[in-house]
Structure 1
Amino acid sequence: MATKKRKKISQAFTKSQLVKEISERCDLNKNQVTHVLDEMKDIIASHLKKNGPEKFTLPGILKIQVRNVDAKPSREGINPFTKEPTVYPAKAASRKVRVTPLKQLKEMA
Structure 2
Amino acid sequence: MAKATPGKAKAKKKAMTKSALYAHLAEGTGLKKTDVVTLFDKFLEVIHQELGPKGSGQFTLPGIARFKLRKVKAVKGGQKKINPLNGQEYTTKDRPAHNKVRVLPVKTLSEALK
Relative to the length of structure 2, the TM-score reads 0.76
Which of 62, 82, 88 does residue 65 from structure 2 map onto? Answer: 62
Matches within 5 A, 1:19-34: 19-34=22-37
Matches within 5 A, 1:1-109: 11-74=14-77, 75-109=79-113
| Structure-2 separation of matches of 1:11 and 1:84 | 42
Assess, with a 3 A threshold, how the Cα gap between structure 1 residues 24 and 76 changes in structure 2: closer, same or farther.
Answer: same
Assess, with a 3 A threshold, how the Cα gap between structure 1 residues 20 and 86 changes in structure 2: closer, same or farther.
Answer: closer
Alignment root-mean-square deviation, CA: 1.7
Q: Which residue pairs with 1:3 in the alignment?
A: none
How many residues are aligned here? 100
Task: State the percentage of identical aligned residues.
Answer: 34
Cα shift at 1:86: 2.9
| Structure-2 separation of matches of 1:39 and 1:82 | 50
Cα shift at 1:14: 1.5
| Structure-2 separation of matches of 1:78 and 1:38 | 47
Unmatched 5+ stretches in structure 2: 1-12
Letter in 1 for 2:83: N
Q: 3-state DSSP class of the match of 1:32?
A: helix
Cα shift at 1:76: 2.4
- Map Cα deviations across residues 19-67 of structure 1 (whole Å, 9 max, x no partner): 1111121121212111111111111111111221121111121011111
| Structure-1 separation of matches of 2:15 and 2:31 | 22
